[in-house]
Amino acid sequence: MAVYQRSFEPYAGPLTQPAWRFLVLVRYALRDLFKSKLFTVFMTVCLIYPLLSVFAIYLRHNADLLANLATAGIEIEEWMPIDETFFGVFMRVQGMLAFFLVLFSGPRLVSRDIANNGLPLYLCRPFSKTQYVAGKLGVLLILSSAVTWIPGLLLWALQTGLEGSAWGAANLRSAVALVIGSWVWMVVLGLFALAISAWVKWRPLAGFALLLIFFGGVFFARAVEILFNTNWGYVLDLHHTIRRIWADLFATPAPFFFGRPLDLPIWSAWVTLALLVAVSLYLLSRRIRAYEVIS
């Protein structure tokens, strides 16, 4: 009987803990994204509004300026209040920018792996479907966080520092709303973008599909309004839905449309988003698999 000397030596070094393994995908995806100059420029543009907000808060607390403005008869407290409306507007502006960030970066995340039969390479290793989705979603969450709740909370902290802790306590709701509102938007947007990316191979088409679904809903809602004389069509207008939730979180008036408020019950907005998340997870579970299907 032939006896073979065992010369193979398996890798015996340290391994990344399973709980953090998804971050490998995040790291490489972010590095890939920031290779694009256009993306880097857009990311920078996304931080302009927070910088302007910092400037506004600074002006609001500049004693010399306030004195000069008071001399000129301008009461800046009335003209530019730092309150729930200020943070609500911040949320809306940065939320939309987060949408465009996801539009830019989301469609390529899964489609590229599927188009190049790359999924088996990930999933034939000790790396689960959940970890894969977490890794891809992590990319979008990090990018969106960088333009939504993180600068928002910094602004809130700055204002609290300058105005005093009493202001912070009175406006705690804005801070909580910033965090919850951002995370809801980021998770919904991220999962849906990944689901689209998993089903639409060509990146631009995936981008168009995202645009259509987020901004085309208003046309559907309008058709329902014309035919049935009801506002209920707007529950499928995702842009309106998220604005309705933000308005509720920040305790600001319901969003206006065609010059009138659309006061649909808040639960309907939450149900819409919950359904969208469920559909996205289902679509992802169908498509993320460790084998290639030849039809």
For binding to other proteins (CB under 8 A), which residues are involved? 7, 103, 112, 115, 201-205, 207-209, 211-212, 216, 219-220, 222-224, 226-228, 258, 294-295
Nearer to other proteins, 83 or 225 (CB): 225
Closest contact distance (angstroms) between CB of 23 and other proteins is: 24
Closest contact distance (angstroms) between CB of 209 and other proteins is: 7
Give CA–CA dist 103/81, Å, rounded: 33
Closest contact distance (angstroms) between CB of 8 and other proteins is: 13
Are the C-beta atoms of 167 and 160 separated by less than 8 Å? yes
Give CA–CA dist 95/243, Å, rounded: 9
Q: Partners of 260 in the beta sheet?
A: 257
Nearer to other proteins, 42 or 183 (CB): 42
Are the C-beta atoms of 25 and 136 separated by less than 8 Å? yes
Pull the structure tokens for residue 107. 């469609």
Closest contact distance (angstroms) between CB of 265 and other proteins is: 22
Nearer to other proteins, 70 or 212 (CB): 212
Amino acid identity, residue 40? T
Give CA–CA dist 197/258, Å, rounded: 33
Closest contact distance (angstroms) between CB of 212 and other proteins is: 5
Give CA–CA dist 131/272, Å, rounded: 26
Nearer to other proteins, 169 or 226 (CB): 226
What single-letter DSSP state applies at residue 233?
Answer: G
Nearer to other proteins, 200 or 249 (CB): 200
Residue 261 three-state SS: strand
